[in-house]
Amino acid sequence: MTGVTQQAIACDMEEGHRSFGPFVLDGATGVLRRDGEVVPLGRRAFELLAALAEADGAAVTKDALMARAWPGLFVEEANLSVQIASLRKTLGKAADGQEWIATVPRVGYRLPRPSQIAGPMLSSTRRPMVAVMPFTTMPDDNEQAYFADGLVEDLITALSRFRTFAVVSRNASFGFRERGLDGAAITEHGVRYLVEGMVRRRATQLRVSVRLVDATSATQLWAQQFDGSGAELFDFFDEVVVAVVGFVEPEVRRAEIERARRKHPGSLDAYDLYLKALPLFRGTSAEVRAEAIALLEGAVRLDPGFATGLVYAAWAYERQDTFGSGMSQAERERALQLAEQALEIGHDDPQVVAIAALILLSVRHDSRRALAMLDQAYAANPNNPTVMSLTAFTNVMAGDIDFGHRCFLRAIEIAPGALDNYELLVGVGIAHLLKGEFEAAADWALKSLAANAEWVGAMWTLAAAQAHLDRMDEARATVATILSKVPGMRMADLERVGLRFGSRFRLQIEGLRKAGLPD
């Protein structure tokens, strides 16, 4: 086990926290985190791990461990072996392939305490933490309380599929309630956002009220009320979970962007640079896109293990091809390098996989691999609006167009507050356009422009649909607006985009040529 002693393991007694490698144990809440994300752990497993960490590299006897995990009880040693095996599986391997928990023959176990850092860099990015608090119910209504607790568990499970924030375990969030902690006290344990709710019943009708609160400022970010029938309990249950998840993710991201915007430049870390890039990332001017690339490359330099930063940097380059004058060969190679590196690190993050799939389709024209990756990402987190919109777009352009169309509509339904909602709206329009349904295409493009009047992608679809409908005055006016936003845009730019999608993009290209976009 000497290899493990070259890993980064340290103990920090401050405020009851102990750390080893990428893990931090919070003794106050019974929570284990890895790189800022909560790792689900049972109470006995946590106690065993805490005992090993407290020993500061020394061996802990089996008797001492059993007394810690099963106080006052007589248990067989086999129970300890089972718990240790489960812990090893949960922790995974150290960077050198060794187990974190070492066996000390005829004694017990220990967490080695090394003196230096070696091996691959571990991501230092700290993501915001969300706690879904136990929902309140009417007193003495056991059936209602059962429903409320089940709803909270499902929300925790659904939100835990997102990797842009960490979610506190059920044990920890219910522990906050049992200890009577308010929002201010909960923030001391690293929690930044609270999902709170109330369940009420009147006869056969149920009402669920949910809100998202920024616990650091006691500010309500979002609230909604859901009404349903007790007769359709599980359908109502699923409806509430999907709706809440669809609102929470975009609102947390929006709040985090605002938080990063207010930070002093000298205090920005990799995650803050990524957040500052997001509003610029979707800009239409070359200057704004270049600033987004610079911020994301800065995030990657600060933290090469930040998979989300890596893949968004790749995406920022790709958008030069879609909405700019194109990428240089060096930029194309950089985009692919970033995407593959992001996949290596974030292969288990559905959003990273989905964005990387888009890069492979757009830059390498590898539609088969891209569609397979998106199937995987969609199955892993069907409630992530980015995953759903990219699944929709790629299928509309290179796969099953009807499935892609349905995915766009579903994404709009589950995440009406998404930052890129206008892209979802025009996505439906593109699906209609490519199916020859020009009136519907124009209608959806106008809906997108109502959400974002600067969105050139919607103007493409609108101008093409208007031209196919022989509304030539309207089509020429839309092209004039496009050229006022992007003066250098030419048909060659659209034809370059069309190379990714073959003949399917033909109706878009023909429509814009007819509408008067210059060659």
Find the CATH number of the domain harbouring 220.
Answer: 3.40.50.10070
Region 465-493 average pLDDT: 93
Dihedral sign from CA coordinates of 60, 62, 64, 70:
positive
Residue 471, in any domain of the structure: no
Do residues 270 and 191 both lie within one domain?
A: no
Regarding whether 151 and 192 lie in a shared domain, the answer is: yes
In a domain, residue 76? The reply is yes
Would strands 23-26 and 17-20 be described as parallel, antiparallel, or unpaired?
antiparallel
Task: Indicate whether 35 pLDDT > 80.
Answer: no
Q: What pLDDT is recorded for position 95?
A: 53
Same-domain pairing of 248 and 133: yes
In a domain, 67, yes or no: yes
* Residue at which a domain ends, from 304, 328, 361: 361
Q: How confident is the model at residue 469 (pLDDT cuts 50, 70, 90)?
A: very high
Whether 281 has a pLDDT exceeding 90, the answer reads no
40 located within any domain: yes
Are residues 90 and 145 located together in one domain of the fold? Answer: no
Task: Report pLDDT digits (tens) over 63-90.
Answer: 999 999 998 888 888 889 889 988 988 8
| Helix ranges restricted to H, 346-400 | 350-364, 367-380, 385-398
Res 279: pLDDT = 87
Q: Do 286 and 313 reside in the same domain of the chain?
A: yes
38 and 157 both lie in a single domain: no
Q: Is residue 271 part of a domain?
A: yes
| pLDDT digit string, tens, across residues 86-107 | 898 888 876 555 678 888 777 8
- At 381-408, the pLDDT tens digits run 988 888 999 999 999 999 999 999 999 9
Cut 0.85: pTM above it: no
Please tell me whether residues 198 and 247 are part of one structural domain: yes
Sheet-wide strand order for 60-61: 60-61, 108-110, 102-104
* Total residues belonging to the chain: 519
Say how far apart CA 96 and CA 404 lie, in whole Å: 42
CATH number of 348's domain: 1.25.40.10
Where residue 425 falls among pLDDT bands split at 50, 70, 90?
A: very high
Per-residue pLDDT for 193 more than 80?
Answer: yes
Task: State whether 171 and 247 are in the same domain.
Answer: yes
Residue 7 covered by a domain: yes
Read off the tokens for 472: 């030539």
* Other CB atoms within 10 Å distance of the CB of residue 87: 22
What's the mean pLDDT in 265-269?
76
- Tell me: do 168 and 248 sit in the same domain: yes
Range of the domain at 147: 129-262
Tell me which of 210, 244, 262 is where a domain ends. 262
pLDDT in tens, 345-380: 888 899 999 999 999 999 998 999 999 999 999 999
Using the predicted structure, report yes or no on whether residue 232 has a pLDDT greater than 80.
no
Domain boundary among 110, 142, 165: 110
CB 441 within 8 Å of CB 432? yes
Nearest CA to 248 among 224, 283, 277?
Answer: 224
Q: Are residues 208 and 282 in the same domain?
A: no
| Number of domains present in the structure of the chain | 3
CATH number at residue 91: 1.10.10.10
Domain-located, residue 331: yes
Confidence of residue 12 (pLDDT cuts 50, 70, 90): very low
- Claim to verify: residue 92 and residue 49 sit in the same structural domain: yes
Q: What is the rounded distance in angstroms from the CA atom of residue 441 to the CA atom of residue 248?
A: 30
Shared domain for 145 and 207, answered yes or no, is yes
Picking from 357, 256, 343, the residue whose alpha carbon sits closest to that of residue 308 is 343
Those residues with Cβ within 8 angstroms of residue 140's Cβ, 6 or more apart along the chain or in another chain: none
d(CA 9, CA 19): 7
In percent, the amount of the chain with pLDDT more than 90 equals 40
Rounded Cα distance between 503 and 273, Å, is 39
* 256 located within any domain: yes
Given this model, what pLDDT does residue 94 score? 67
CA distance 319 to 169: 37
Task: Characterize 163-181 residue by residue with b for buried, 16 or more Cβ atoms within 10 angstroms of its Cβ, and e for exposed.
Answer: bbbbbbbbebbbbbeeeeb
